[in-house]
C-alpha cells in the first residue's frame, strides 16, 4: 500500500519509436531462428570411437610390439566443439526465442488488445516449425510428455497456488469442486459415450476404436488447461468471483482428468474389465486425490517450520519454498498420486507462515522468481505447441474431428447449466446466466491434453487422436480465446475493481465475518463462517505459535497493513493502484521509508493497549470494576472550537452529571460525554475565569462539569471548526 504518490520509473515511450523497436526485435528473432536452424543442421561425428583427443593420429607404431603412440599435431589457435554444449546451448536459444516473441508481442501496438498472447506465441511456433521442416525436410523437435509434466508444468501450478486468493477460493470451494469433479465426470462420460456412438455409425473408417479408447480420449480432451485460461482471463480483468470459479475449476479439473486418464489406461492394459475392477478404480481415484492433498499439506507444514529457523541465513530462505514445493510434486508422481493437488496444497499451506518468517527482500525474491519462472514455462509451452504441430503424425477423419469439436462444446455447456442450477440453490450469491455463459465458453484446451495424447500406447488410430487434439486446441485458443473478450464486453459482464482494498475495508470485512460467525453459532448453523472461525482460533492458538517465530507474532491489524503494503509494492496486474492526478513528487529516500514504516507499525501496535477490553465470543469476561485511574480522551481548544470528552464509569456518571447535561448530550454505550464550547473573545474568557475563581468551592468539581456550566452561562457565537487536536489527561485532576 503506497502512502505517498510514486514517480514513474521511466517516461512513456513515444509512438514514433515503435517501428524501430519492432524492427530490432524482429532482427533478433530471425537471428535466433537462423542459429537454431544452424544448430539443427549439425550432425554428430561419424568416428565416435576415436579417443578423446580430437586431432590424434594412431596410425604410427613403435617397433613390432603393436604399441600405438599418438603423435601430437600442431597447436590449434581456434577450435569448435559444439556437441560438448549442444543440449544447454539449444535450451538457452529456445528460451531466448520465446522471450523475444513475448517481448515483441507487448511492443506490437494494438495487437495485444485484439489477439491473446497465447495465440501469438502459437503462431510464432508454427512459423518456426514450418521453417525447420522446410529446411531439414523432417519433423522439428517436439515437446516430450516427461519434459512437460516434470519441468514446465510445476512452476505454473506453483505460481497459481502461491498467489491464489485464499478468501475467494475457500468461499467458493464447494462450487469449484462441484464443477471440477462432477463436471469432469459429466464431460468425460458424455463425450466418450457419444464418440463411441459416432464410431458405431461409421464402421468402415472408425470401427476399430473401442469404448475404452473413446473414454481414454475423452478423459484427455476434457482437460481444461489452466495455462490457457490464465493467459486469457488475466487480460480481461473479469470480476473476482467469475475469475476464481473458472481458474479454480481448470486447476482442479486437470488433477481429475489426469487421474481418470491413468485409470482408463490401466483398464486398456487388462485382458478384461470386471465390476470389481471398476469399483477398485473408483477407490483409486479417491486415494489419488486425497493422497496428493495430505502429501502437499505435510510438505507445506515442513516448509513453514523450516522457514522459522532462517533468520540467520535469509539468503537461502526463498530456496526452501521452491524445493519443498517441487519435492511434493515429485514425491506425488513417484507414488502415483495427484502431483497438481499436492503442489497447490503445499503452496497454499505454507504461504502465510513463510511470509511471516522471512524478510521483505526474501518475499520480493520469491514473488518475482515465481512470476518469471512461470512466465518462461508458459511461453515455452505455447511455442512448442506450434512447433510440434508441424509433423508427419497426422490422420484426418471429418466425422471424428467435427464430432469431437461439437461434443466438447455441447457437453460442457449442458454440464455448466445443470450443475449451476443445482448449486445456485445453496449459494447466497447466485452465479448469473452471463457468468455461466463465460464459464462454459472459457473451457480452453492446451498443453495438458496435448502432452497426454502422446502418452497413449501405439494402436492404429493414435495419429487420429493426435490430429483431433491439435484441432481442438487451436480452435479453443484462437476462436474462443479471441472472441471471449468481445463477448464479455457485449454481455456487460461485471469487471473487477482496480483499486487495492484499504485497511479500513479489510477491518470491516473481518468484523462482518466475526458477526456472521457469531450469528451462525447462536442459531446453531454450521456454515462456512463457523468453520472459518474455528480454524482461525486453531491457527492462532497452535499453528502460528509453532510455525512462526516469536518476534514475528504481530497484531492482526498490523498483519493486514503489511499484507496490503506487499500487494502495493508488488504491483500485480490483478490489483493495480489508482493513478494519482497530482504532479509527481521527489522519490523518498530509504531512510524516510524506514521511518514511515516504523511510525506506522508503532501506531498500529498501540491498538493492543486499549483500556477497554474487546468483546470475544470465545473468551467472555465479567464486568469487574477496576480501581485504577483511567485516562480519558480530551480534545483541546482549536481554531474552530473546543471539545471536551470525558470517559467515566457508569456509577460516577450518575453522581457527577446533572440531569440537564444528560438530556442534552446523552450517554453512549461506553458512557462517554462530549460537550462543545464555542470560541469566545478574550474579554469574555477573562470574565468567565474571574467569576469561576470567586465562586469556586473548597472541593472542585471535575473539569468536564465546570466547563459545561460555564459554557451554559456564557453563550457566544459559533465559528466553524478547522482543526482538532487530542491530548490525554488524568481524570482526577485537582
Confidence of residue 658 (pLDDT cuts 50, 70, 90): very low
Most confident residue range from 244-258, 327-341, 384-398, 590-604: 327-341
Confidence of residue 582 (pLDDT cuts 50, 70, 90): very low
| Range 584-606 average pLDDT | 70
> Which pLDDT belongs to residue 471?
93
Which of residues 79 and 475 earns the better pLDDT score?
475
Computed from CA positions of residues 482, 487, 489, 493, in that sequence, does the dihedral angle turn out positive or negative? negative
CB within 8 A of 515, min separation 6: which ones? Answer: none
Q: 82 vs 50, 55, 141, CA distance in Å?
A: 17, 16, 18
Q: 693 vs 108, 686, 690, 696, CA distance in Å?
A: 82, 11, 5, 5
| Range 586-609 average pLDDT | 68
Q: E strands, 618-699, where?
A: 633-635, 642-647, 672-677
Total Cβ atoms within 10 A of residue 649: 13
> Which pLDDT belongs to residue 301?
95
Asked whether residue 649 carries a pLDDT value surpassing 50, the answer given is: no
Q: 639 vs 680, 717, 720, 722, CA distance in Å?
A: 11, 14, 8, 6
| Range 481-501 average pLDDT | 81
Which of residues 237 and 262 earns the better pLDDT score?
262
Identify the residue whose cell numbers are 466418450: 192
Q: pLDDT per residue over 54-80, tens digit each? A: 444 444 444 444 445 455 567 888 888
Asked whether residue 630 carries a pLDDT value surpassing 60, the answer given is: no
Asked whether residue 619 carries a pLDDT value surpassing 50, the answer given is: no
State the chain's mean pLDDT as an integer. 75
Cβ(399)–Cβ(454) below 8 Å: no
> Which pLDDT belongs to residue 294?
96
> Which pLDDT belongs to residue 70?
54
> What is the DSSP secondary structure assignment for residue 283, as one 8-state letter?
H
C-alpha cell at 717: 457565537
Asked whether residue 556 carries a pLDDT value surpassing 70, the answer given is: no
Residue 444 and residue 520: Cα distance in Å, rounded? Answer: 39
Residue 443 and residue 412: Cα distance in Å, rounded? Answer: 8
Residue 412 and residue 182: Cα distance in Å, rounded? Answer: 11
Which of residues 580 and 296 earns the better pLDDT score?
296
CB within 8 A of 381, min separation 6: which ones? Answer: 143, 148, 152, 227, 446, 447
Least confident of 149-153, 244-248, 645-649: 645-649
Confidence of residue 40 (pLDDT cuts 50, 70, 90): low
Residue 682 burial (10 A CB sphere; 0-12, 13-18, 19+) = exposed
Residue 645 and residue 634: Cα distance in Å, rounded? Answer: 5
Residue 452 and residue 446: Cα distance in Å, rounded? Answer: 11
- Name the β-bridge partners of 665: none
Q: 569 vs 563, 573, 587, 601, 610, CA distance in Å?
A: 10, 12, 14, 17, 31
SS3 category, 103 = helix
Asked whether residue 6 carries a pLDDT value surpassing 90, the answer given is: no
Which of residues 689 and 439 earns the better pLDDT score?
439
Confidence of residue 35 (pLDDT cuts 50, 70, 90): low
- As a residue count, the chain comes to 734
Asked whether residue 650 carries a pLDDT value surpassing 60, the answer given is: no
| Percent of the residues in the chain that have a pLDDT greater than 70, as a whole number | 66
> Which pLDDT belongs to residue 682?
41
Asked whether residue 366 carries a pLDDT value surpassing 70, the answer given is: yes
Asked whether residue 376 carries a pLDDT value surpassing 70, the answer given is: yes
| Percent of the residues in the chain that have a pLDDT greater than 90, as a whole number | 28
Least confident of 485-494, 517-526, 637-646: 637-646
> Which pLDDT belongs to residue 730?
42
> Which pLDDT belongs to residue 339?
93
Confidence of residue 102 (pLDDT cuts 50, 70, 90): confident
> Which pLDDT belongs to residue 28?
62
Q: Which string of b and e fits 532-550 if b means at least 16 CB within 10 Å?
A: bbeebeeeeeebbeebbee
| Range 32-51 average pLDDT | 50
> Which pLDDT belongs to residue 712?
44
| Range 524-552 average pLDDT | 85
Which of residues 529 and 453 earns the better pLDDT score?
453
| Range 264-284 average pLDDT | 90
What torsion do the CA atoms of 541, 543, 546, 547 make, to the nearest 10 degrees?
-140
- Name the β-bridge partners of 728: 633
Confidence of residue 562 (pLDDT cuts 50, 70, 90): low
Residue 474 and residue 444: Cα distance in Å, rounded? Answer: 9
Cβ(321)–Cβ(366) below 8 Å: yes
Enclosing H/E stretch for 379: helix 360-389
| Range 582-609 average pLDDT | 66
Asked whether residue 8 carries a pLDDT value surpassing 70, the answer given is: no
Q: 483 vs 114, 115, 458, 475, CA distance in Å?
A: 9, 9, 36, 11
Residue 363 and residue 375: Cα distance in Å, rounded? Answer: 18
> Which pLDDT belongs to residue 420?
94
Most confident residue range from 382-391, 462-471, 715-724: 462-471
C-alpha cell at 585: 513528487
C-alpha cell at 527: 456454515
Q: 610 vs 604, 631, 652, 669, CA distance in Å?
A: 12, 11, 21, 16
| Range 176-198 average pLDDT | 94
Residue 404 and residue 644: Cα distance in Å, rounded? Answer: 77
- Name the β-bridge partners of 675: 644
Asked whether residue 433 carries a pLDDT value surpassing 70, the answer given is: yes
Residue 731 burial (10 A CB sphere; 0-12, 13-18, 19+) = middle
Residue 623 and residue 604: Cα distance in Å, rounded? Answer: 27
Q: pLDDT per residue over 664-679, tens digit each? A: 444 433 343 344 444 4
| Range 397-417 average pLDDT | 94
Q: 190 vs 193, 222, 252, 285, 449, CA distance in Å?
A: 6, 10, 19, 19, 17
Residue 34 and residue 198: Cα distance in Å, rounded? Answer: 46
> Which pLDDT belongs to residue 220?
93
> Which pLDDT belongs to residue 194?
95
| Range 198-215 average pLDDT | 90
Cβ(597)–Cβ(4) below 8 Å: no
> Which pLDDT belongs to residue 646?
45
Residue 190 and residue 414: Cα distance in Å, rounded? Answer: 10
> Which pLDDT belongs to residue 629?
44
> Which pLDDT belongs to residue 4?
39
CB within 8 A of 166, min separation 6: which ones? Answer: 348, 351
> What is the DSSP secondary structure assignment for residue 640, as one 8-state letter?
S
Least confident of 33-37, 125-129, 130-134, 234-238: 33-37
Q: pLDDT per residue over 291-324, tens digit each? A: 999 999 999 999 999 999 998 888 899 999 999 9
Cβ(393)–Cβ(142) below 8 Å: no
Identify the residue whose cell numbers are 495430505: 294
Helix 503-523 × helix 528-538 angle, to 10°: 110
Residue 612 and residue 653: Cα distance in Å, rounded? Answer: 17
Which of residues 330 and 587 earns the better pLDDT score?
330
SS3 category, 646 = strand
Cα angle 512, 518, 524 (rounded to 5 degrees) comes to 135
> Which pLDDT belongs to residue 71?
56
Total Cβ atoms within 10 A of residue 167: 13
3-state helix, strand, coil in the chain (%, to 5): 65, 5, 30
Asked whether residue 162 carries a pLDDT value surpassing 50, the answer given is: yes
> Which pLDDT belongs to residue 511?
85
Cα angle 459, 464, 465 (rounded to 5 degrees) comes to 80
> Which pLDDT belongs to residue 603?
64
Least confident of 40-49, 208-217, 311-320, 493-502: 40-49
* Cα–Cα nearest to 346, from 354, 356, 334: 354
Asked whether residue 521 carries a pLDDT value surpassing 50, the answer given is: yes
Residue 119 and residue 226: Cα distance in Å, rounded? Answer: 15
For 624, phi then psi, to 5°, come to -100, 130
Residue 147 and residue 450: Cα distance in Å, rounded? Answer: 13
> Which pLDDT belongs to residue 586?
65
Identify the residue whose cell numbers are 533478433: 28
> Which pLDDT belongs to residue 409?
94
Confidence of residue 27 (pLDDT cuts 50, 70, 90): low
For 673, phi then psi, to 5°, come to -110, 125
> Which pLDDT belongs to residue 499?
65
> pTM above 0.75?
no
Amino acid at each position: 500500500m503506497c502512502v505517498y504518490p510514486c514517480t514513474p520509473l521511466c517516461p512513456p515511450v513515444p509512438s514514433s519509436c515503435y517501428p524501430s523497436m519492432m524492427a530490432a526485435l524482429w532482427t533478433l528473432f530471425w537471428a535466433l531462428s537462423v542459429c537454431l536452424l544452424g544448430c539443427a543442421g549439425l550432425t554428430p561425428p561419424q568416428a565416435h570411437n576415436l579417443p578423446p583427443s580430437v586431432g590424434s593420429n594412431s596410425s604410427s607404431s613403435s617397433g613390432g610390439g603393436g604399441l600405438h603412440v599418438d603423435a601430437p599435431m600442431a597447436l590449434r589457435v581456434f577450435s569448435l566443439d559444439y556437441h560438448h554444449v549442444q543440449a544447454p546451448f539449444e535450451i538457452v536459444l529456445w528460451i531466448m526465442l520465446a522471450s523475444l516473441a513475448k517481448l515483441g508481442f507487448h511492443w506490437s501496438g494494438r495487437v495485444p488488445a485484439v489477439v491473446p498472447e497465447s495465440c501469438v506465441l502459437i503462431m510464432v511456433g508454427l512459423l518456426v516449425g514450418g521453417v525447420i521442416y522446410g529446411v531439414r525436410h523432417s519433423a522439428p523437435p517436439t515437446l516430450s510428455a516427461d519434459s512437460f509434466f516434470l519441468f514446465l508444468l510445476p512452476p505454473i501450478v506453483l505460481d497459481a497456488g502461491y498467489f491464489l486468493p485464499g478468501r475467494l477460493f475457500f468461499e467458493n470451494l464447494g462450487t469449484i469442486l462441484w464443477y471440477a469433479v462432477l463436471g469432469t465426470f459429466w464431460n468425460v462420460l458424455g463425450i466418450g459415450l457419444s464418440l463411441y456412438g459416432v464410431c458405431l455409425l461409421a464402421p468402415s473408417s472408425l470401427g476399430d476404436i473401442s469404448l475404452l479408447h473413446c473414454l481414454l480420449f475423452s478423459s484427455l480432451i476434457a482437460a481444461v488447461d489452466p495455462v490457457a485460461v490464465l493467459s486469457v482471463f488475466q487480460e480481461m480483468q473479469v470480476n473476482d468471483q467469475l475469475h476464481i470459479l473458472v481458474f479454480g475449476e481448470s486447476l482442479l479439473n486437470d488433477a481429475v482428468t489426469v487421474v481418470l486418464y491413468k485409470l482408463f489406461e490401466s483398464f486398456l492394459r487388462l485382458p478384461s474389465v470386471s465390476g470389481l475392477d471398476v469399483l477398485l478404480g473408483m477407490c483409486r481415484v479417491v486415494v489419488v486425490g486425497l493422497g496428493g492433498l495430505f502429501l502437499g499439506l505435510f510438505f507445506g507444514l515442513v516448509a513453514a517450520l523450516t522457514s522459522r529457523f532462517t533468520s540467520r541465513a535469509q539468503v537461502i530462505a526463498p530456496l526452501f519454498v521452491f524445493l519443498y514445493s517441487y519435492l511434493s510434486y515429485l514425491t506425488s508422481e513417484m507414488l502415483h498420486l495427484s502431483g497438481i493437488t499436492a503442489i497447490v496444497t503445499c503452496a497454499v499451506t505454507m504461504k502465510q507462515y513463510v511470509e511471516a518468517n522471512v524478510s521483505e527482500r526474501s518475499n520480493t525474491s520469491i514473488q518475482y522468481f515465481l512470476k518469471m519462472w512461470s512466465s518462461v514455462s508458459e511461453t515455452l509451452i505455447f511455442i512448442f505447441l506450434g512447433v510440434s504441430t508441424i509433423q508427419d503424425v497426422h490422420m484426418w477423419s471429418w466425422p471424428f474431428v467435427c464430432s469431437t469439436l461439437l461434443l466438447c462444446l455441447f457437453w460442457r455447456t449442458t454440464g455448466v447449466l445443470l450443475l449451476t442450477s443445482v448449486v445456485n440453490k445453496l449459494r447466497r450469491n447466485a452465479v448469473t446466466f452471463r457468468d455461466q455463459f463465460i464459464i462454459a465458453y472459457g473451457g480452453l484446451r492446451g498443453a495438458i491434453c496435448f502432452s497426454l495424447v502422446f502418452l497413449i500406447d501405439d494402436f492404429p488410430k493414435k495419429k487420429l487422436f493426435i490430429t483431433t487434439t491439435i484441432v481442438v486446441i487451436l480452435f479453443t485458443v484462437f476462436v474462443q480465446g479471441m472472441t471471449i473478450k468481445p463477448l464479455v464486453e457485449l454481455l456487460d459482464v461485471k469487471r473487477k475493481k482496480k483499486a487495492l482494498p484499504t485497511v479500513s475495508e479489510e477491518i470491516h470485512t473481518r468484523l462482518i465475518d466475526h458477526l456472521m460467525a457469531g450469528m451462525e453459532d447462536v442459531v446453531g448453523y454450521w456454515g462456512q463462517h463457523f468453520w472459518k472461525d474455528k480454524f482461525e482460533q486453531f491457527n492462532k492458538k497452535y499453528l502460528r505459535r509453532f510455525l512462526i517465530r516469536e518476534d514475528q507474532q504481530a497484531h492482526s491489524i498490523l498483519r493486514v497493513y503489511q499484507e496490503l503494503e506487499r500487494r502495493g509494492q508488488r504491483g500485480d496486474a490483478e490489483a493495480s493502484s489508482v493513478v494519482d492526478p497530482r504532479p509527481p513528487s521527489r522519490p523518498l529516500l530509504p531512510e524516510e521509508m524506514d521511518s514511515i514504516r516504523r511510525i506506522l507499525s508503532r501506531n498500529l501496535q498501540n491498538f493492543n493497549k486499549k483500556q477497554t477490553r474487546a468483546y470475544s465470543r470465545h473468551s467472555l469476561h465479567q464486568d469487574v470494576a477496576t480501581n485504577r485511574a483511567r485516562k480519558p480522551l480530551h480534545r483541546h481548544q482549536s481554531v474552530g472550537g473546543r471539545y471536551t470528552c470525558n470517559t467515566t464509569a457508569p456509577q460516577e456518571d450518575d453522581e457527577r452529571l446533572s440531569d440537564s447535561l444528560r438530556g442534552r448530550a446523552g450517554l453512549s454505550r461506553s458512557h462517554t460525554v462530549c460537550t462543545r464550547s464555542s470560541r469566545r473573545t478574550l474579554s469574555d474568557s477573562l470574565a468567565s475565569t474571574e467569576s469561576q475563581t470567586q465562586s469556586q468551592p473548597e472541593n472542585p468539581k471535575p473539569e468536564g462539569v465546570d466547563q459545561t456550566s460555564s459554557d451554559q452561562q456564557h453563550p457566544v457565537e459559533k465559528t466553524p471548526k478547522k482543526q482538532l487536536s487530542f491530548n490525554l489527561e488524568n481524570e482526577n485532576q485537582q
